[in-house]
Amino acid sequence: MSAHLDGNPFCVQPLGASGPQLPVRCPTLRAVLDAVDDGMLAADVDGQIAFSDRRACEMAGLELECREGRHLSDFGLPALEQLHRQALGSPDRLLVSDLAFPRTGVFCEARIRAIVDDNGNLLGTVAVLKDARSKRMYDRLKADLLATVSHELRTPLTSILGYASLMLDAGDAMEEMDRAACLETIEAQGRRLLELINDVIEMGKLDSENLRLKMETCCAGGILEEVASDSREACGARRPDVDVIVEQTEPTPMVCDSTRIRQAVTCLLDNAIRYSPPGGRVVLAARREDSRVVIEVRDEGPGIPPEKQGHLFEKFYKVEPPGEGRSGGTGLGLAIVKRIVDLHGGQVFVESAVGKGSVFGFTLPAAEASEESRDLAA
């Protein structure tokens, strides 16, 4: 059964029903949401605005007096309408994308998800808009980045220095097996340190305003095959128990910076392998959906709780499976993926359930729908 949001704030009414099912029209609730710095939008399945708070209207340059009854198209942002449609088509996905409102120049991060009632009726979408220009946010991010990098650098360095000191103190008295174990630990921590440094440098490059993409037409399936082949060679000795498979599909041409997209897929694949159980399978797949190409990496890992999924693409955010200790990742891989996809005008997504594995992926414009993307290479 289909459903919709009526014009009252947060009143949800199935089509054909005699009255709203969730009558929570509350001036206090509106006042609370208007006091929040983030923008919030709720729209029905047709894109009619059921609720928009004060901040969302300010970001878009719209008057508060007539904020309900509008359509998403009134915000002058086709990308927001596209996110709305994609969220409706994939109710289980949380979509995250960077948007810029043309009237005000406000640059924000949009997080949008479908609204579904207890009976499975699709009601519309809700979007949270976070102003990414805020100096306070940037200052906090810089401080958090410095603190996190310092901590992440200190951990492997402490381990390296500790085992090196142990070997020096023991000298020739150390057993050969103990010496080998120390050297293996030093090598592993050294690789971890190098990975972190490389990821921090790469993140800095992607955040640079001078970055230019080298756009070309390429086949998504070909990129997946290359990434899978490279991964089998690089990870064969470390994780021989994980099977990496490329799902065969029809040719999916797209216009992109193939080097950067390979980098994004590699990050997703490395992440999937890291969390895969012994004997697990990781599947890479690409398919065409209307004017978009969808690239997915599916794993059979422990899955991710819903309350943590909204933070997965933040810098240095890591989810450690219970009872399994540290995963060994830097916490920058998914942030790098999101930045690359944002530069291409695409969206990232994640689908996961605890105990049932995860699907990480992103969408890009298909070849014939990518004329605007070519401007990124100029």
pLDDT band at 144 (very low <50, low <70, confident <90, very high): low
| Strand segments (E) across the chain | 3-5, 12-14, 39-44, 49-52, 95-100, 107-116, 122-131, 216-219, 243-246, 253-256, 281-289, 292-299, 347-352, 358-365
What token pair was written down for 276?
Answer: 């895969």
Residue holding tokens 């830097």? Answer: 330
pLDDT band at 328 (very low <50, low <70, confident <90, very high): low
From CA 319, how far away is CA 316, in angstroms rounded? 10
Are residues 347 and 341 in contact, defined by beta-carbon separation less than 8 angstroms?
Answer: yes
Residue holding tokens 């029905």? Answer: 44
Query: How do residues 32-48 score in pLDDT, each as one tens digit?
Result: 777 777 888 899 999 98
What token pair was written down for 164?
Answer: 């090196």
pLDDT band at 373 (very low <50, low <70, confident <90, very high): very low
132, pLDDT greater than 60? yes
Mind listing the domains of the chain with CATH numbers?
Answer: 27-132 (3.30.450.20), 212-377 (3.30.565.10)
Are residues 195 and 330 in contact, defined by beta-carbon separation less than 8 angstroms?
Answer: yes
Segment 119-123 mean pLDDT? 89
Count Cβ atoms within 10 A of the Cβ of residue 75 and give its class: 0-12 exposed, 13-18 middle, 19 or more buried: buried
Amino acid residing at 307: E
Are residues 284 and 228 in contact, defined by beta-carbon separation less than 8 angstroms?
Answer: yes
Q: What is the pLDDT of residue 114?
A: 94
Segment 294-303 mean pLDDT? 93
Please tell me the number of Cα atoms within 13 Å of 222 on its side-chain side.
9
Q: What is the pLDDT of residue 113?
A: 94
Query: How do residues 175-233 score in pLDDT, each as one tens digit?
Result: 888 888 889 888 888 887 887 787 777 777 777 656 788 889 999 999 999 999 888 77
From CA 24, how far away is CA 6, in angstroms rounded? 12
What token pair was written down for 98?
Answer: 């960077």
> What is the CA angle 199-200-202, rounded to 5?
60
Q: What is the pLDDT of residue 327?
A: 54
